Amino acid sequence: MLNIPLWRKVLVWLIVAAGLLLALPNLFYSRVEMSNDAEAVIASGESNDELMAAAGQWPSWLPDGLVNLGLDLRGGAHLVARVEVADVYESRMDSLWPEVRDALAAERDTIGFVTREESAPDQLVVRISEADGASRALEVVRGLARPVASISGAGQMDIAVSADGPVLTIGLTEAERVAMDDRTVRQSLEIVRRRIDEVGTREPSIQRQGDQRILIQVPGVGSAQELKDIIGTTAQLTFSAVVGTASSADENPGAGNEIVPFRDEPGRFLVIETAPVVSGEDLVDAQPTFDQNNRPAVSFRFDPTGARRFGDYTSEHVGEPFAIILDDEVISAPNINEPIRGGSGIITGNFTVESSTDLAVLLRAGALPAELTFLEERTIGPELGQDSIDAGTIACIVAFAGVMIFMVLSYGLFGLFADIALLVNVGLIFGLLSMIGATLTLPGIAGIVLTIGMAVDANVLVFERIREELKTARGPSRAISLGYEKALSAIIDANITTFITAVILFAIGSGPVRGFAITLGLGILTSVFTAIFVTRILIVTWFDRRRPKTIEV
C-alpha cells in the first residue's frame, strides 16, 4: 500500500532539512572559516573590533561546521623525518652512571675507588682501583640489569657487562636496543602530534613509516620550514645539581660533569652533574604565570616520581644552588632555601608574557627524545590544491549530469524523482562530513563521485520491479507498492557488502584510503536512505495528488 504515516513523512523531511542545514556552511566556506577562526581567538581572551567584525560574518545561530580540506586540496606542508634513535643510547648510559657508581661505592672495601672513563656514546666504561675485585664488581653491576620490557625481548636483560682487568664495560643488549628504538619512535610520534595540536592546526596526518621514520602532513601551513620550526624546538628541561662555576666553556668539568652557559648572562658558566636530578619527562603540567614581583614566569608540576626525587634532593641540599637547564642553557640557578615538597614550583627568568606562554606550551608537549632528521620536505601551495578542487568539482558535475540525463531518459518522471533524491543525497553527505569534522581529500572526492554513480542503483532496482509488476496488469498503486517491497532486500544486500568493504578500508587503511572509505561509507548510508524513503515519499505524494490510471516507468 502507498499510505505512509504522517509522522514518518515529517521525520524524513526533518532529517533531510537537518542534513542540508549542516551542509550549508560549505557553500560559504571562506566566510565561515574566517568567522570560526575569529571566534576561536576571541574565546582565548583576545578581542578587538576587527575580530568582532570577522566573527560576525556568519550568524551564530546557524551551524558553522565545515568539511576540513586535506593537504592535497588545501595546500600545506609534507615532511618525512627519521628519528635518530641512537641518540637515546648516550642519555641512557648517562642516567645509568649514578646507579652504577652508588652500587659499586657500597663495595669500596673490595673494589676500591670507582671512576668513569671516556667511552663511546653507547657505552659506560668504569675503572675500579682494585683489579682483584673485578669479579665482585661484575656481579654487582650485573645485579642492576632488568628484564627487557618488550614481547620480542622476553627473557633477556637490558644491559651486558664485561671486564678487562680493572675496567668494566657496560653496554645495551641487542634486545634492549630494539625495544628502546621502538619506544623512542613512539614517543617522538606522540610529541610531534602534541606539538602540532597545541598550535591549533587543522586535521594533521602524522603516521609512523617503517622502524624509524615519521610521515607528517599538515594542511594550511605556509611552508615546510614553518612546520619544521613547530616540530623542531627541543624544550629539553632538566633540574641539575650544581658542582661549581667555570670561567669558560673549554675548562675540564671532570668526569660525570659538564659546563653549560647562562642564557641571559654571556660569559657566565656553571659546572653541573651530567645526570639530572629531575628531567622534563617527569613534568605533568606547565602554565604561564607571574612571580612575586609580577614578572612573567612559568609554573610547573611534577608527577609523583619526579616530585619525590625533587623533594628528596632539595631536602638534602638546603642552602646549595641547583640549576634549571633549558636546551643546554641555564635559565635560572636559585639557592634551595627549604625543601620543596609537593612537586610544584616556578621557573623565573627574563621572560616576556609571550615567551613564558611559548615555553609553557613546549614543556607541556614534552621534549623530543631524539633528534629528527628531515629526509623529505615539500610545500604544497594553495594554488595546486585549488586545481584539485576545480578538477574534482568538474568530475562531480559531469557525473551528476550524466546520471541525471540517463535517469530521465530511462524512467521519465520517476527518473526526475531519483535525480532530486540524488541532489539530496550529496547534500546529506556534506552535512554528515561537516558534523563529524571529517577531512575531505582528493580520494574522498573520488568516493563521492563513485557514490553518485551508485546512488541511483537502488532506484533502478525499484523502478525495474515496478515495471515488472505493471506487466502483470496490476494497478499503478499496487505495482509501486510491490516494487518497493520486492526491491528492498536486494537494495540492502547490495549495499551492505559495499559498506562492509568501506568499514574494512577505514579500519586498516590510512591517509587517502581512509578519506575514500569515509565518503564511500557515508555515501552508501545516505543513498539507501534517499532511495528507500525520500524517493518513495516523492512518488507517493505525486501519486496521491494526480491519481493517474496508468503510469509509465
Say if CB 433 and CB 526 are below 8 A apart.
no
E-strand stretches of 19-101: 68-69, 76-83
Indicate the length of the chain as a whole number.
Answer: 553
C-alpha dihedral sign at 339, 341, 347, 348: negative
In CATH, the number for domain 6-75+381-546 is 1.20.1640.10
Residue ranges, comma separated, of all CATH 1.20.1640.10 domains in the chain are 6-75+381-546
* Edge-to-edge strand ranges of the sheet holding 76-83: 205-209, 213-219, 76-83, 372-380
Task: Compute the distance between CA of residue 336 and CA of residue 519 in angstroms, rounded to an integer.
Answer: 60
The packing angle between helices 87-105 and 134-142, to 10°, is: 120
Say if CB 238 and CB 274 are below 8 A apart.
no
Taking only the tens place, the pLDDT of each residue in 10-42 is 999 999 999 999 999 999 988 898 888 888 778
Lowest mean pLDDT among 127-141, 143-157, 498-512: 143-157
Task: Compute the distance between CA of residue 498 and CA of residue 299 in angstroms, rounded to an integer.
Answer: 54
Q: Which segments of 56-173 does DSSP mark as H helices, in order? A: 71-74, 87-105, 108-111, 134-142
Q: Does domain 236-352 have CATH number 3.90.1640.10?
A: no
pLDDT in the model for residue 292? 76
Task: Compute the distance between CA of residue 275 and CA of residue 240 in angstroms, rounded to an integer.
Answer: 7
CB atoms < 10 A from the CB of 45, how many? 6
Residue ranges, comma separated, of all CATH 3.30.1360.200 domains in the chain are 236-352
Higher-confidence residue of 14 and 108: namely 14
Task: Compute the distance between CA of residue 264 and CA of residue 399 in angstroms, rounded to an integer.
Answer: 64
Taking only the tens place, the pLDDT of each residue in 187-245 is 888 888 877 876 666 667 888 888 889 988 888 777 888 888 777 665 677 888 888 88
Q: Name the grid cell of 180.
A: 628502546
Q: Name the grid cell of 323.
A: 640549576
| Fold exhibited by the domain 85-177 | Gyrase A; domain 2 (3.30.1360)
Lowest mean pLDDT among 377-386, 487-496, 504-513: 377-386
Say if CB 429 and CB 523 are below 8 A apart.
yes
Contact partners, residue 547, CB within 8 Å, separation at least 6: none
Residue type, 297: A
